[in-house]
Protein backbone atom coordinates (compact mmCIF):
# COMPACT_ATOMS: atom_id res chain seq x y z
CA UNK A 1 0.00 0.00 0.00
CA UNK A 2 1.39 3.37 -1.03
CA UNK A 3 1.94 6.14 1.51
CA UNK A 4 -0.47 9.06 1.19
CA UNK A 5 0.48 12.72 0.76
CA UNK A 6 -2.22 15.42 1.01
CA UNK A 7 -1.82 18.89 -0.52
CA UNK A 8 -3.55 21.64 1.48
CA UNK A 9 -3.73 25.41 1.31
CA UNK A 10 -6.03 28.29 0.53
CA UNK A 11 -7.25 28.84 -3.04
CA UNK A 12 -4.77 29.86 -5.73
CA UNK A 13 -1.55 28.96 -3.94
CA UNK A 14 -0.67 26.36 -6.59
CA UNK A 15 -1.97 23.09 -5.14
CA UNK A 16 -3.29 21.74 -8.42
CA UNK A 17 -0.17 22.85 -10.28
CA UNK A 18 1.93 20.85 -7.82
CA UNK A 19 -0.47 17.90 -8.04
CA UNK A 20 -0.28 17.89 -11.83
CA UNK A 21 3.48 18.16 -11.79
CA UNK A 22 3.84 15.16 -9.49
CA UNK A 23 1.18 12.98 -11.05
CA UNK A 24 1.49 13.45 -14.76
CA UNK A 25 -1.35 11.61 -16.44
CA UNK A 26 -2.52 8.99 -13.97
CA UNK A 27 -5.27 11.03 -12.35
CA UNK A 28 -8.46 9.66 -10.88
CA UNK A 29 -11.47 11.78 -10.04
CA UNK A 30 -12.87 10.46 -6.80
CA UNK A 31 -16.27 11.32 -5.45
CA UNK A 32 -15.59 11.77 -1.79
CA UNK A 33 -19.02 11.00 -0.38
CA UNK A 34 -22.71 11.52 -1.14
CA UNK A 35 -23.77 15.12 -0.73
CA UNK A 36 -20.32 16.49 -1.32
CA UNK A 37 -20.38 17.71 -4.87
CA UNK A 38 -16.74 18.57 -5.10
CA UNK A 39 -14.35 15.96 -6.35
CA UNK A 40 -11.21 15.03 -4.59
CA UNK A 41 -8.42 14.42 -7.03
CA UNK A 42 -6.13 11.54 -6.29
CA UNK A 43 -3.27 10.11 -8.25
CA UNK A 44 -0.07 8.16 -8.06
CA UNK A 45 2.94 10.44 -7.86
CA UNK A 46 6.49 9.60 -8.72
CA UNK A 47 9.25 11.88 -7.45
CA UNK A 48 12.84 10.84 -8.22
CA UNK A 49 11.72 7.23 -8.15
CA UNK A 50 9.77 7.58 -4.89
CA UNK A 51 6.14 6.54 -5.32
CA UNK A 52 3.20 7.71 -3.24
CA UNK A 53 -0.49 8.45 -3.46
CA UNK A 54 -1.20 12.16 -3.66
CA UNK A 55 -4.47 13.94 -2.88
CA UNK A 56 -5.28 17.43 -4.14
CA UNK A 57 -7.69 18.78 -1.55
CA UNK A 58 -9.66 20.97 -3.93
CA UNK A 59 -12.35 20.91 -1.28
CA UNK A 60 -10.78 23.80 0.63
CA UNK A 61 -11.32 26.06 -2.30
CA UNK A 62 -13.56 28.50 -3.98
CA UNK A 63 -16.85 28.74 -2.12
CA UNK A 64 -15.83 31.38 0.34
CA UNK A 65 -12.46 33.11 0.20
CA UNK A 66 -12.51 34.13 3.86
CA UNK A 67 -13.49 31.01 5.73
CA UNK A 68 -13.25 27.29 5.41
CA UNK A 69 -16.86 26.22 5.04
CA UNK A 70 -17.71 23.26 7.21
CA UNK A 71 -18.40 20.75 4.50
CA UNK A 72 -15.20 21.56 2.62
CA UNK A 73 -13.26 21.56 5.82
CA UNK A 74 -14.55 18.07 6.59
CA UNK A 75 -13.37 16.78 3.25
CA UNK A 76 -9.94 18.31 3.64
CA UNK A 77 -9.78 17.20 7.26
CA UNK A 78 -10.45 13.62 6.21
CA UNK A 79 -7.75 13.80 3.55
CA UNK A 80 -5.21 15.13 6.06
CA UNK A 81 -6.16 12.55 8.68
CA UNK A 82 -5.75 9.72 6.16
CA UNK A 83 -2.41 11.11 4.98
CA UNK A 84 1.06 10.14 6.19
CA UNK A 85 2.20 13.71 5.59
CA UNK A 86 0.59 16.98 4.44
CA UNK A 87 2.11 19.52 2.08
CA UNK A 88 0.90 22.94 3.24
CA UNK A 89 1.31 25.46 0.45
CA UNK A 90 1.43 29.21 0.78
CA UNK A 91 1.88 31.76 -2.02
CA UNK A 92 5.27 33.38 -1.43
CA UNK A 93 4.36 36.19 -3.84
CA UNK A 94 1.21 37.12 -2.00
CA UNK A 95 2.75 36.64 1.45
CA UNK A 96 0.88 35.29 4.45
CA UNK A 97 -2.82 36.16 4.68
CA UNK A 98 -5.31 35.40 7.49
CA UNK A 99 -6.63 32.33 5.71
CA UNK A 100 -3.12 30.82 5.72
CA UNK A 101 -2.96 31.44 9.46
CA UNK A 102 -6.36 29.80 9.95
CA UNK A 103 -5.23 26.71 8.04
CA UNK A 104 -1.93 26.68 9.98
CA UNK A 105 -3.78 26.75 13.31
CA UNK A 106 -5.96 23.88 12.21
CA UNK A 107 -3.02 21.82 10.88
CA UNK A 108 -1.17 22.25 14.16
CA UNK A 109 -4.14 20.68 15.93
CA UNK A 110 -3.92 17.60 13.72
CA UNK A 111 -1.46 14.74 14.17
CA UNK A 112 -0.35 14.51 10.54
CA UNK A 113 3.18 15.83 9.97
CA UNK A 114 3.28 19.01 7.87
CA UNK A 115 5.81 20.20 5.33
CA UNK A 116 5.40 23.94 4.72
CA UNK A 117 6.05 24.91 1.11
CA UNK A 118 6.47 28.53 0.02
CA UNK A 119 5.28 28.15 -3.54
CA UNK A 120 5.74 30.62 -6.41
CA UNK A 121 9.20 31.21 -4.97
CA UNK A 122 10.97 31.70 -8.29
CA UNK A 123 12.59 35.14 -8.48
CA UNK A 124 13.09 38.02 -6.06
CA UNK A 125 9.39 38.85 -5.69
CA UNK A 126 9.00 35.86 -3.39
CA UNK A 127 11.78 36.51 -0.87
CA UNK A 128 9.74 38.40 1.72
CA UNK A 129 6.92 35.89 1.42
CA UNK A 130 9.28 33.03 2.21
CA UNK A 131 10.44 34.92 5.33
CA UNK A 132 6.86 35.66 6.39
CA UNK A 133 6.11 31.94 6.21
CA UNK A 134 8.31 31.35 9.26
CA UNK A 135 5.57 33.06 11.29
CA UNK A 136 3.21 30.12 10.67
CA UNK A 137 5.11 28.11 13.27
CA UNK A 138 6.23 25.09 11.29
CA UNK A 139 9.74 24.05 10.36
CA UNK A 140 11.71 26.06 7.83
CA UNK A 141 9.47 26.84 4.87
CA UNK A 142 10.68 25.22 1.68
CA UNK A 143 10.95 27.63 -1.25
CA UNK A 144 9.35 25.93 -4.21
CA UNK A 145 8.00 26.64 -7.67
CA UNK A 146 5.33 24.24 -8.81
CA UNK A 147 5.14 26.00 -12.14
CA UNK A 148 8.87 25.88 -12.85
CA UNK A 149 9.66 22.67 -11.01
CA UNK A 150 12.19 24.32 -8.67
CA UNK A 151 12.66 22.57 -5.34
CA UNK A 152 11.78 19.02 -6.36
CA UNK A 153 14.95 17.60 -4.79
CA UNK A 154 14.22 19.46 -1.53
CA UNK A 155 10.69 18.10 -1.61
CA UNK A 156 12.05 14.59 -2.12
CA UNK A 157 14.35 15.01 0.90
CA UNK A 158 11.54 16.40 3.06
CA UNK A 159 9.12 13.63 2.11
CA UNK A 160 11.56 10.76 2.44
CA UNK A 161 11.31 10.31 6.24
CA UNK A 162 7.53 9.97 5.91
CA UNK A 163 7.39 7.64 2.91
P1 LIG B 1 -4.83 26.06 -6.39
O2 LIG B 1 -6.07 26.87 -6.37
O3 LIG B 1 -4.14 26.10 -5.06
O4 LIG B 1 -5.04 24.66 -6.88
O5 LIG B 1 -3.83 26.79 -7.39
P6 LIG B 1 -3.53 26.46 -8.93
O7 LIG B 1 -2.61 25.30 -9.06
O8 LIG B 1 -4.80 26.41 -9.67
O9 LIG B 1 -2.67 27.75 -9.32
C10 LIG B 1 -3.19 29.06 -9.15
C11 LIG B 1 -2.42 30.01 -10.03
O12 LIG B 1 -1.07 30.11 -9.57
C13 LIG B 1 -2.34 29.56 -11.49
O14 LIG B 1 -2.44 30.70 -12.30
C15 LIG B 1 -0.95 28.94 -11.59
O16 LIG B 1 -0.44 29.02 -12.88
C17 LIG B 1 -0.16 29.82 -10.63
N18 LIG B 1 1.00 29.12 -10.10
C19 LIG B 1 1.07 27.88 -9.58
N20 LIG B 1 2.32 27.57 -9.20
C21 LIG B 1 3.09 28.66 -9.48
C22 LIG B 1 4.48 28.96 -9.30
O23 LIG B 1 5.29 28.16 -8.86
N24 LIG B 1 4.87 30.22 -9.67
C25 LIG B 1 4.01 31.13 -10.17
N26 LIG B 1 4.48 32.34 -10.50
N27 LIG B 1 2.69 30.88 -10.37
C28 LIG B 1 2.24 29.65 -10.02
MG1 LIG C 1 -6.78 23.63 -7.36
- What is the predicted ipTM? 0.99
Q: Which domain holds residue 132?
A: 4-162
Asked whether residue 20 is marked as a ligand-binding residue, the answer is no
What is the whole-number distance in angstroms between the Cα of residue 30 and the centre of ligand 2? 15
Listed residue (150, 142, 97) closest to 123, CA to CA: 150
Q: What are phi and psi of 36, to 5 degrees?
A: -105, 110
CATH code: domain of residue 158: 3.40.50.300
pLDDT of residue 144: 98
Determine the number of helices (DSSP H) and then strands (DSSP E) in the chain: 5, 7
pTM value? Answer: 0.89
Output the pLDDT for position 109.
Answer: 94
Ligand nearest to the CA of 126: 1
The residue-averaged pLDDT of 127-142 equals 96
140 appears as a binding residue in the annotation: no
Q: Which residues pair with 54 in a beta bridge?
A: 5, 43
Q: How many domains, the chain?
A: 1
| pLDDT, average across residues 158-163 | 97
pLDDT beyond 70 at 32:
no
Q: Whose CA is nearest to atom 6 of ligand 1?
A: 14
Amino acid sequence: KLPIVAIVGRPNVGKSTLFNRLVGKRVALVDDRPGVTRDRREGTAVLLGMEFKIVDTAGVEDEDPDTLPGRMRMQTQNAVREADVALFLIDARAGIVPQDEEIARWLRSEDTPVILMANKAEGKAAESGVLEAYSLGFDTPMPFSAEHGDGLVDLFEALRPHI
